[in-house]
Structures are given as structure tokens and as C-alpha cells.
Amino acid sequence: MSTSSKRDSLKTIGEFGLIRQLQQQWPTSSPCIVKGIGDDAAVLNARQGQQFLISTDVSIEGVHFDLAFHTPKDVGWRAGVANLSDVAAMGGTPLYVLVSIAVPVRTPPKNIRALYRGLQDACAPCNVELIGGDTSSSPSHVFLSLTIVGSVRANRALTRHGAEVGDRLYVTGTVGDANAGLRILQSHSNNLRRFSPSAAEKFLIRRHRRPTPRIQVGQLLVDRNLAHAAIDLSDGLSSDVGHVCEESQVGAEIRGEALPLSSPLRAFAKRHDLDPMELALQGGEDYELLFIAPAKHHQKVLLVSEQTKVPISCIGEIKPKTFGQQLELPGGRIQRLATMSFQHFSSR
């Protein structure tokens, strides 16, 4: 975030001035918020017959985003979706968010407001309200930590535990696009101003910069009691399948042919001599849902897809734990489902 002008600078408005501006930008109205932002803690009423969901996710400059090719609005949007998507994966309704942010003192307040605007835009379709946070200076990079609070019908939350042998694995949307979009941005980071992406590249970049949380799909799966387990695709499909298998103590067979790959992804892979299936399996941050449902509910799952207008594809089957996690390649050959997805600190 570039240097601020003198009038609109953090030094001039100070921490409390910034908080006031952000509070005005994002007012709250829910009757369940007894006390929102601006006290030592927010005070919340529980909702009848509901349980609370709570999750937190960090976004760090140089790790999760790069200000060379993410606008402040992108940063806010993506951080918002990473958190909203966690609630979607539990089949819940996102309600409130707390935002902690640390920025270098030279950061222009307008960029911080733009970041909040991106977050607010991502939250707007589900009326998520800002109920707290913390604001600090940072010695170097921008740090963002969001906590999302949601609710879910009591004892109906979709955890990673619960997948049963014979169940089917489903994913929403298409997978691998965000991975390809990021690769495009990274390969043009030095000449981004002169870079004129094709329509296919624009699609992939947008999928990376502005992912969509699949909240309605998660909610319908819970309302209609259709799924045994769910997770959102943040680490990468192969890794996230691994998480579900580990928590549910099962194995899984993924049919490579069934992976929903967008045509821009196929075109990108072809052009760069990459395997599109591998991009889909290893790429993270698609924020699509992976869920596990009994085979008998297949028609009802398709109805959810029809009603939400979100494509849903069956990509495989849950197997016994001893089966491990296998990938059936298009020719019929079977290989171990490698989990080469992103893991922090890892040198791979």
C-alpha cells in the first residue's frame, strides 16, 4: 500500500480516528448484537435452537497476498471469503466478523478503508456485521486476522468427521482456477501494468482475486440433512480430501475424469504444458465446498445444484481406511492421491 498524503494519513487521524471512520463505513443493525464495536468486547444474544460457529483466519502480506498484484480491495475480499467459506463448510449462516489489522504507519487510510470495503462487499450478500477488532501499527508487512461468528441448526453442523464407506464425494463449481490465476499474476508481477490478459486469463485471475463462498449450498445440505461431512477447498483438493479421510477414518477414490475443470483452466494448462488435473488437485484457495453424501441422496444433491445455480459434481467414493486415498486416472490407471498442497513452513 503506497505512501499516504499528509491530510489523509494515519499519523494525522490516529488509531481512534481510523476506528471511527471504519465504524461509520460499516454500521450494525442486528437485534442479536447487544453491544457491537467500540467496547471491551461485543455482547451477543444466542439464537433459539442454534449453535454458534466460530473460526479465525489470517492473511499476511508476502504470504497470502502480494500488494504488487492484489489491490487493497482484493485483500479484504479474499480474507473475507476465506472466513465465510469456513462457516459455509459447516453448513452455517455467517453473522458477525471481528477484524484485527496491523499496517505500517505510512499506509494511506484510504487503502485501509478500501480493504474494509472489499471485506464488506464479500460479506454483504449474507449481511455479516462488523462487531469488533483491533488496530495496530506493524513494523513492516500488512497483517490481517479475521474472526467469523456464525450459527447453525443445533447438532446439524457438517464436520470433517462422519464420512461413511460407500458415500459419494462432491465438489461445487470448478477446481484449480484460483491456482492458475495466481500463477498468471506471479508470472507477470514485473510487468503487470503492460500485461493485457486474454478473456480466459481474466476469468482465472478473477477466480483467484474474487472467489465466492458457497454459503447457500452448505445451508441447504444442512436444512435437508443430505451430507455426512464437508470441508472447504482452501489447502487444495487432494489435501482437503486427506483431511476428511483422516478425521472420518476412511479412504477415498477420486475419479480424475470427474474433476470439474473450467475450459479456461484447460486452455491455460495446455498452453503451459501442465496437467490440468494436477493444478486442480494441488491448487488451494478455490473456496469451493467438498462434501460427502450418501449415494441415496444423489438426486436431492442435484436439486440443490439446480436451486442454487451452483454446479455440483460427484468426483468419487468413500472407501475403507485400508484402501487409502487413490486417484483413478482417465485411462483407468490407479495412483496414490498425492497431497502436494500448500502447507506453511514446508520446504516442499
Burial bucket for residue 199 (CB in 10 Å: 0-12, 13-18, 19+): exposed
**Shortest gap between Cβ of 161 and a second copy (angstroms)?**
8
For residue 50, the cross-strand partners are 153
The pairs formed by 195-204 with CB atoms below 8 angstroms and a separation of 24 or more are: 199/264, 200/263, 200/264, 200/267, 200/268, 201/264, 201/268, 203/177, 203/262, 203/264, 204/177, 204/178, 204/180, 204/262, 204/264, 204/265, 204/268
CB of 270 to a second copy, least distance (A): 33
Q: How far is the CB of 62 from a second copy (least distance, A)?
A: 4
Asked if 281 is part of the footprint of a second copy (rule: CB under 8 A), the reply reads no
Which CB sits closer to a second copy, 203 or 287? 287
First-to-last alpha carbon distance for the chain, in angstroms, is 30
Number of CB atoms found within 10 A of residue 242's CB: 19
Q: How far is the CB of 81 from a second copy (least distance, A)?
A: 13
- Select the residue interacting with a second copy from 21, 138, 308, 326 (CB under 8 A): 138
| Whole-angstrom distance, CA of residue 337 vs CA of residue 101 | 38
68 in contact with a second copy (CB under 8 A): no
From residue 164, give the alpha-carbon distance in Å to each of 152, 247, 252, 303: 22, 11, 10, 22
Here's the x/- map for a second copy, 298-327, by CB under 8 A: it reads as ------------------------------
Cα–Cα–Cα angle for 65, 66, 68, rounded to 5 degrees: 150
Cβ neighbourhood burial of 41 (10 Å; 0-12, 13-18, 19+): exposed
Q: Please tell me whether residue 15 binds a second copy under the rule CB under 8 A.
A: yes
| β-bridge mates for residue 134, sequence order | 100
Q: Which is nearer to a second copy, 18 or 254 (CB)?
A: 18
Minimum CB separation from a second copy for residue 197, in Å? 27
Residue 47: name the closest of 175, 129, 151, 203 by CA: 151
Nearest CB to a second copy, comparing residues 1 and 204:
1
**Binding letters toward a second copy, positions 191-220, x by CB under 8 A:** ------------------------------
User: Which one among 167, 232, 285, 288 touches a second copy, defined by CB under 8 A?
Assistant: 232
Contact between 55 and a second copy per CB under 8 A: yes
Member of 2, 6, 7, 16 binding a second copy (CB under 8 A)? 16
Q: How many residues bind a second copy (CB under 8 A)?
A: 76
Residue 160 within binding range of a second copy, rule CB under 8 A: yes
Contacting range for a second copy; rule: CB under 8 A; set: 141-149, 279-287, 297-305, 319-327: 141-149
Q: Return d(Cα 229, Cα 159) in angstroms, integer.
A: 5
- Name the amino acid, one letter, at 230: A
Closer residue to a second copy, CB minimum distance, 200 or 237: 237
Contact between 105 and a second copy by CB under 8 A: the answer reads yes
Nearest residue (CB) to a second copy, 102 versus 200 = 102
